Amino acid sequence: MPVGKTPSHTPHLPKMRYPTIGGQKLRVAIWEGSGRARPILFFNGIGANLELAAPLGEAFTDRDVITFDMPGIGKSPAPRWPYRAWQAARLARKVLDEYGYDEVDVLGVSWGGAMAQQFAMQYRRRVGKLMLAATSAGMVMVPGKPKALSKLAHPRRYLDPAYLMRNFEQLYGDDPDMAETHAISILPPTARGYMFQLLAMAGWTSVPFLPFLPHPTLIMMGDRDNIVPLANGHILKTLIPRSRLYVVNGGGHLFLVSRADEIIPVMQDFLDTPEEFEGAGAPAL
């Protein structure tokens, strides 16, 4: 999902790589920063190609930003077989190994927020801080509006720009004026890639391991999100010991786009805060 872009400067373009990892060819993007701060590993939303994450690379110029198209998404070829969340996390770890990243901060949005939780549990020693946007604990969640969820389950929003623009506000809860800008950045996923992303999280929940996550965690939720209601942020905040919750007032599911001027400084401030922060005893932001 895009994070908002200011057109008044030259874009900071990523280096594109096409490694074959574990038999799966991937398209990887790395926005190289100054190297003064820990890199960010970014997990995108379901069906979302890495172009939608480009403004993150422009915003966080003091650190590298690494992301990749999941198999069958964007320009990564479709996988042969279904996969589970732990296998997707392992794939991300192998991407980091491929390019020499030992420790990262992790950011995930929506489906990618669940993947960020899985990665933080599975490779906790390689994660510094965790940022979760518009996401939930998986199967144990407060569901979104049925009309929005029915549209989310089908990739038509990526395949038919007119359909996306017609249903944008009902689906995401965001300003419909954003629809056209969002649509032009989309590359349609393959049917198999989209289905396998859905299957990867079937029956998955992070509830058993969230109380054991040691990482300082920033949870960001929009109070107008039709897909992942705000209540899910409170669930995550209750379960993750060192966490704090930031509520985007008036924000829908795409608040990283619609409220970029507000939310990017919040993330930067969180990342710059000393890691001694103990969220359990601190007030929500």
Which residues form the catalytic set? 110
- Biggest CA-to-CA distance, the chain: 48
Q: Two tokens at 148?
A: 């929005």
d(CA 44, CA 211): 24
Q: How far apart are CA 92 and CA 99, in angstroms?
A: 11
CA pair distance 256, 162, nearest whole angstrom: 22
Report how far residue 159's alpha carbon sits from residue 34's, in angstroms, rounded to the nearest whole number: 37
Q: Number of C-alpha atoms within 13 angstroms, CB side, residue 263?
A: 33
Cα–Cα dist 114/112, whole Å: 5
